[in-house]
Structure 1
Amino acid sequence: MSIHERYVRDSVLAISELRKHKYVEYDDAIAAELFNIGSLIEFKQGSILIEQGATDQFIYLILSGSAQIIINGNELSYLRSETDAVGEMTILNPSAPRLATIKAHTDMSVLRIDYLEFKKILDSHTKMYIALLRDITFKIKQRNQHVREVNKIPKLFIISSVESLPVAESILCNLEHVEVEVQLWSDTNRFDAGSNVLNVLEEHVKKSDFSLAIFSDDDDVISRGDSLKAPRDNVVLELGMFLGRLGKERAFYVLPKNVNVKVPTDFNGITPLKYSRNALGEIDTRILVTGLKAKFSQLGVMKNI
């Protein structure tokens, strides 16, 4: 027998659990009133309690299990569990659409209460109102800690091997008068970061609006019997980290013109930017930078979580 089934069969047990809720604070009268106006609902793991953008007005008091919060497709790193509530933000603005999707992380038993009925109890129990406002304030602060600070101007992260630094420096030169902050990452940075290189990169991923990896002909590889040029493995890996966060519209790679460089199939769908090198070895990235400027203007800084 599941925990939810026990609550359904034994109202005393359910009310006893409800007394522990942060809105109830072991008040028998409040627990009884809430139980009488609510409905015990079970949500299986993976089920949706609330859909972002929906206009329903139910509040869910969690008796058992835990729920995942998803905003614009991004799963927040913390859960809501026993003694928590979800959907309570509707108290602040009942006509507003839901701000997040709430999905059952485990099997859940909840007490579902309609907004109007919940509001009646709030109006008659001042201490419950205070507990609710305290909880909402905490949740807003908690969410703010996990919200990415929006950059004032776009931030571009350039990934390069030491052999490709002349290309990176040419790009930097041509971006000199463009309103963009540029971070250049090369072998020197990898060495300085040591064993913490992935942690350092993860922080850059969180703070960047765009990434650009220079896929030069650094290494020789054999593919299906043919000898091809290929970028360094670490450059490919690092672009992959940014691609997962930024998406294909904001993660780019650069190729030399007229050189057959083997690009991993993971990057199919990304149109490469190209630079030229003349017979004297002089590098020209002006057209490449024009393409970047268009993307900066079109997409701007990232504003999602």
Structure 2
Amino acid sequence: MSGAAQPGTRARFVTGALLLALPFVLALLGPLLAGEPAARGASFTLGGPSDGWAAQWFGTDFVGRDVWRQVLLGGRSVVLVALAATVLAYAVALPVGFAAALTRRTWPEELLMRPLDVLLAVPSLLAVLLVATVFAPGPVGLAVLVAVVNVPDAARIVRSTAAEIAARPAVEALRMQGESRRRIAMGYVGRSALRTLAADAGVRMTGVLYLVATAAFLGVGVAPDAADWAVMVDRNRTGLFVQPWAVVVPALLIVLLSMGTNLLFDAALQRGSRHTTRTEQHTKQRTGPPAEPGGRKGNRS
């Protein structure tokens, strides 16, 4: 089974990497390749692709700007904000969730988790819009806002996963052997939780990406005329049937980013599953067979 799963894992990893490569390269290197803006005029508004050396491959948008140049300039504000928001959310959710799951007392867990339930009750987009009306955040502020609204859900998933693993007999055996709580948390519990957390990270990255794009679509975090993939979809949607490239190209890049992320995390799930199985076998070898009621370890043939 392991040999059969390996090609599928590799194929998913390669496919996900290829899908992610295009939007990431455009986001990181696009501004360096965009060059100087071409002259604009009313005759170029919502135009189709043109020929020649200075060709506009995907035509012009609703104000006469080159769509390809806007695509090159508009990826960083979406990709980097979504990536930063996801990392920030887990930077808070992981220690909070593990601390709540591994504590032996009730009050620290309640102190950590109950305030997050209050924030969890507020819809994510509504919370972002409410704060944005007061503070008018830029890209950095939008990343922080999106991270904050994702912390409660992520922390609950981390806590639930770690609590289930911490209740296993293997963890009790490690405690009886005198292993420190930190080594148990970062060792067995952390490795065993990777598969579930990788699945959550893939879904969460997609959710964060679309939340960032929706916020940008509504004008939060970016200027109304900014070069941004989500803003491009919003501003050019009225001319979709006249000049579709101004909407299709940025929307397709967002979809590729989402699909590639999930495929990469699917590959990580399969690898994490095999790694967890080896970890459990190694732990059983260290702890030996389970103890009998009389206090002696069983000697099974």
TM-score under structure 2 normalisation? 0.26
Q: Which has the higher contact order (CA 8 A, sep 6+)?
A: 2
Larger radius of gyration: 1
Name the structure where helix makes up a greater proportion of residues: 2
TM-score under structure 1 normalisation? 0.26
Name the structure where strand makes up a greater proportion of residues: 1
